Structure 1
Amino acid sequence: MQNIIDKAYSEAVKGLDEEILNDCDAWYNYVLKLPKTQQVVYTIILFNWQIENGGFHQYFINSYGQFSYLTIKNLKLIEAPQRADLLDSATHLVNEEYFIEDKFRHLIFNREFSKIVDFDDLLFDQLNELDDKYYDLEQEDIMNLLENYLNN
């Protein structure tokens, strides 16, 4: 099962280097220009790793949250609507000011969302609740859904 996913992920990250990863727009545009299957695998694998390792707060504080809007679309594409809804809820909690996507991406990338960086208690608690819901979603096996997507 992992082989097809690992291969797509390896292909996706092949061209990433420090220069790209340190430039918000270069990184985002790199991911946008990936072949669709690689983009889907890259955004969903990063998202899932971050949530499994530290939750939604970690996803946003580690700058991967800049891909949240794209990842929501990709989760829906692989037929993971409940995980997409959880990420959508988390993104709206973080972006309660409804910044346009480009501004939101830059604020996340540059760690300029004070309530994320300063561990705002209310937001942290709300994101933790979403973490718990994410961990309980056994019926939406992200690896199986990714594999099915890649095989079709």
Structure 2
Amino acid sequence: MENIIDKIYSEAVKGLDEEILKNCDAWYNYVLNLPKGQQVVYTITLLNWQIENGGFHQYFFNSYGQFAYLTIKNLKLIGIPQRAGLLDAATHLVNEEYLIEDTFRHLIFNRELSKIVGFDEILFNKLNDLDDKYYSMEDENIFDFLEDYLHKIE
């Protein structure tokens, strides 16, 4: 049986196609305009998959980091500010020049942020430290919080 998170995630990605995924603004606006529950599930699930499979560096390298600021808000919304804090710290490390969000999103999407695509060792090690903190939060199951949030908004 499909759980509520999988069901909502499937609904969220129904309208995504190659054309949208190849266009930074189209993809971002698609996610931004999803119903709130779908947007929350999509952004948080992507973050968690990326971190579990390769860490914060992979999240930014694979263009999903364009959703970092939105995902921070969504993590706080569902009640897990510690994970929001880790993503916020990672985002500040990656965006240490404090580029405006749109510029940052485009650089991440187009893989033009040299520290990420060039595997800057200092940044990579700092992000690895944040990965370790993320992995150590096992008592805080991200999917339990997502499920609770979804039941509240039904």
Given the two structures, how large is their TM-score scaled by the length of structure 2?
0.97
Alpha-carbon displacement from aligned partner over 1:12-57 (angstroms, at most 9, x marks no partner): 0000000000000000000000000000000000000000000000
Alpha-carbon displacement from aligned partner over 1:77-101 (angstroms, at most 9, x marks no partner): 0101110000000000000000000
Instruction: Decide which moves more: 132-141 or 119-128.
Output: 132-141
1:39 is aligned to 39
1:50 is aligned to 50
Deviation at 1:60, TM superposition (A): 0.1
Q: Which runs of 4+ in 1 moved over 4 A?
A: none
C-alpha distance in structure 1 between counterparts of 2:75 and 2:126, whole Å: 21
C-alpha distance in structure 1 between counterparts of 2:89 and 2:137, whole Å: 15
1:105 is aligned to 105
> RMSD of the alignment, in Å?
1.0
Q: Percent identity?
A: 78
1:120-131 mapped onto 2 (5 Å cutoff): 120-131=120-131
Deviation at 1:2, TM superposition (A): 6.0
C-alpha distance in structure 2 between counterparts of 1:29 and 1:60, whole Å: 18
2:19 is aligned to 19
1:79 is aligned to 79
Deviation at 1:139, TM superposition (A): 2.6
C-alpha distance in structure 1 between counterparts of 2:89 and 2:2, whole Å: 29
Q: What are structure 1's unaligned runs of at least 5 residues?
A: none
1:142 is aligned to 142
Residue 133 (structure 1) aligned with residue 129 (structure 2): no
C-alpha distance in structure 2 between counterparts of 1:138 and 1:2, whole Å: 23
What is the letter of the counterpart of residue 119 of structure 1?
F
SS of residue matched to 1:122: helix
Given the two structures, how large is their TM-score scaled by the length of structure 1?
0.98
1:8 is aligned to 8
What is the total number of aligned residue pairs between the two structures? Answer: 152
